[in-house]
Chain A
Amino acid sequence: MNMDKLTNQVSDWLKGSGPDADIIISTRLRLARNIRGFVFLSYALAKQRIEIESFVHEKLKKVPFHDKLIYIQMKDLSLIDRQFLVERHLISQDHAKASSYRAVAVERKETLSIMVNEEDHLRLQVILAGFQLADGWKEINKIDTQMEKYIPYAFSPQFGYLTACPTNVGTALRISVMLHLPALAIARQIDKVLNALSRIKFAVRGFYGEGTQALGDFYQISNQVTLGKSEQEIINEMQNVIPEIIKFERNWREKLLDDNNKKLKDSIMRAYGILRHAETITSEETMKHLSLIRLGINMNVIKDTTLKKINELFIYTQPAHLQKISKRELAPSLRDIARAKYIKAHLN
């Protein structure tokens, strides 16, 4: 029921719009919150987890935005449905794996999600298309302020919002900006960016965070320091860093076109050809080609498809999405066939 509604719609943040959408897929902000009076989750017994979950569930029925939420208990979901939510970036891998009294509240447009009983009692997340730090903060701050009227947060004047892990304490704000950097990857300039980022205490991860490989040339850049700076200061730092990377990527896109016009065009068009004609294809190969096609659209090499369509394909060709669309479980080899068919139908 609820899940079908999600399957059939496209997340707002995937629509390929928003500032700097040619490079920035999404801006995601996350706040970790714990509830005063309850023990933290890694040491909570089943009974306490149940109490926390039902406490939050009740409170979420009262918040001003309650009628926009779809509340889902993890135990009611199949493994595929859980993985589907991970692929949508609505819950974490960890949240999908453990079933013990966890839940997620998803706002209808999928802009907001609230994980219940993840590492912290509450994990609020707002995800917007493109580069939208100010709007993202405005949104999540509003939600958080509305929630704190109903839920007493664990807070200390010295340490701020108290979290299960000391790496999140303070503002408990983690900002992740997802960038598509194919030109820097082709030009082998990525390491330069990553080294610079690590020096200023920014972390970098792949498309779904979990992988060590940057599939599809996607990089998630996030702040690591959460204590000692205000939210605005954290946002400002991000606001200073990301445009530099955008500029770097754009410069290399131009340079690559000038330098070896035919060669780059050729690999883009070959990728397009493969996806439009393959009979069976893995998720990994798909990501690789989609990345080039995305670059092709942004460089005006490909004109007969849209950014929105390609953004969607990145998500809809993931294993759980394919199985939801096919309405049945599929072994990997069958998935590869279903994937090729789905892509063909959407690119021709």
Chain B
Amino acid sequence: MLCQNCQKKNATVHLTEISNQNVQKEIHLCDDCAHKQGLPYKAQFSIAEILSGLIEPLMGKAIGEMANLKCQNCGISYVDFKRQARFGCADDYEVFKEGIVPLLERIHGATQHHGKIPSQVNQELLHERKLKDLQRELNQLIRTEEFEKAAEVRDKIKKLKDKATKPNNSKRKK
């Protein structure tokens, strides 16, 4: 890609004008032009750019099955998500889970929410869901013979079960 300013050198600085985390406009400049414009800080890559970069390798691996995945609720496919870097509905998080978990790991360094829980969410249901998720993770780890990790998950499950037997601690507070 050529620098937008001088149209001569290769663009190496890729900026996105952003407001409130919303991608607006991309700017591509060569080092010299970026320097001349006195850009005060390191270039920020656009979210879409980062995301396609992150999803790309995953796509290669799982392209067979993942590419055909489609959300029944909003109708978008995994490929649509990859292109737009936006979900079509809340269900997509479950439907495309396999692709999304490693993506979130790379963006946030985590895949499990630890913050506020809306009061409308049934606490018991929540607890059950967590247990189920962990159980599934455990089974997967045993299947792939990752026993060290499996032991960690087993501890987590035990902790959760212990918690449930004690009253009045369904709300997580730090």
Whether, in the assembled complex, A194 has its beta carbon less than 8 Å from a beta carbon of chain B, the answer is yes
B42 at the interface (CB under 8 A from A): yes
- How many residues of chain A are within 8 Å of chain B by beta carbon? 67
Question: A222: nearest residue on chain B (CB-CB)?
Answer: B21
Number of B residues contacting the other chain (C-beta, 8 Å)?
55
A104 to B108, CA, bound (A): 29
CB neighbors of A among B19-39 (8 A): 19-22, 24, 27, 37-39
Measured between alpha carbons, how far is A171 from B172 in the docked complex, in Å? 14
Known contacts A157-B130, A159-B113, A214-B41, A43 near B89 by CB under 8 Å: yes
Bound-complex Cα distance A42 to B86 (A): 7
CB distance from B78 to the nearest CB of A (A): 13
Cα(A161)–Cα(B87), bound, Å: 13
A212 near B17: Cβ-Cβ < 8 Å: yes
Whether the Cβ atoms of B115 and A166 lie closer than 8 Å is no
* CB closest chain-A residue, reference B116: A231
Nearest-Cβ distance from residue A182 to partner chain B, whole angstroms = 13
Q: How far is the CA of A172 from the CA of B62 in the complex (A)?
A: 28
A171 touches B89 (CB 8 A): no
The reply on A190 being an interface residue by CB < 8 A is yes
- Beta-carbon contact of A148 and B118 below 8 Å: yes
**Complex partner residue of A225 from B15, B38, B88, B109, CB under 8 angstroms:** B109
- The total number of A-B Cβ pairs within 8 Å is 185
B120 near A152 with CB under 8 A, answer yes
Check: B166 CB closer than 8 A to any chain A CB: no
* Neighbour of A170 across the interface among B19, B24, B84, B115, CB < 8 A: B115
In the complex, how many angstroms separate the beta carbon of B87 from the nearest chain A beta carbon? Answer: 6
Do the beta carbons of B73 and A39 come within 8 Å of each other? yes
Is B130 in contact with A166, judged by CB distance below 8 angstroms? Answer: no
| Contact of A174 with B104 in the complex, beta carbons under 8 Å | no
Residues of A within 8 A of B111 (CB): 158-159, 227-228
Is A138 located at the chain interface by the 8 A CB criterion?
no
Q: Are A155 and B117 in contact (CB under 8 A)?
A: yes
Shortest Cβ gap from A153 to chain B (Å): 5
Picked from B47, B88, B90, B109, the residue with its CB within 8 Å of the CB of A228 is B109
Interface centre among B40, B84, B85, B130 (most CB of A within 10 A): B40
Tell me whether A112 is interfacial, beta carbon within 8 Å.
Answer: no
Q: Which B81-123 residues have a C-beta within 8 angstroms of A? A: 84-90, 93-94, 100, 103-104, 107-121
Given contacts A40-B90, A43-B76, A228-B113, 8 further A-B contacts (CB under 8 A): A42-B88, A158-B129, A211-B17, A213-B37, A226-B108, A228-B111, A231-B115, A233-B114
Q: List 25 A-B contacts (CB under 8 A).
A: A39-B73, A40-B90, A42-B88, A92-B19, A93-B19, A94-B24, A144-B116, A148-B119, A155-B117, A156-B90, A157-B133, A158-B111, A158-B129, A161-B115, A165-B21, A170-B108, A170-B113, A191-B41, A210-B17, A210-B19, A212-B27, A214-B41, A228-B113, A230-B116, A230-B174
Q: Which residues of B are interface residues toward A (Cβ below 8 A)?
A: 15, 17-22, 24, 27, 37-42, 44, 47, 51, 73-76, 84-90, 93-94, 100, 103-104, 107-121, 126, 129-130, 133, 172, 174
The 5 closest A-B pairs by CB, nearest first: A228-B110, A160-B113, A171-B115, A92-B20, A154-B90
> What residues make up the interface of A, taking CB atoms closer than 8 Å to B?
30, 34, 36, 38-40, 42-43, 86, 92-94, 118-119, 123, 141, 144-145, 148-149, 152-171, 173-174, 185, 190-191, 194-195, 198, 203-205, 208-214, 225-233
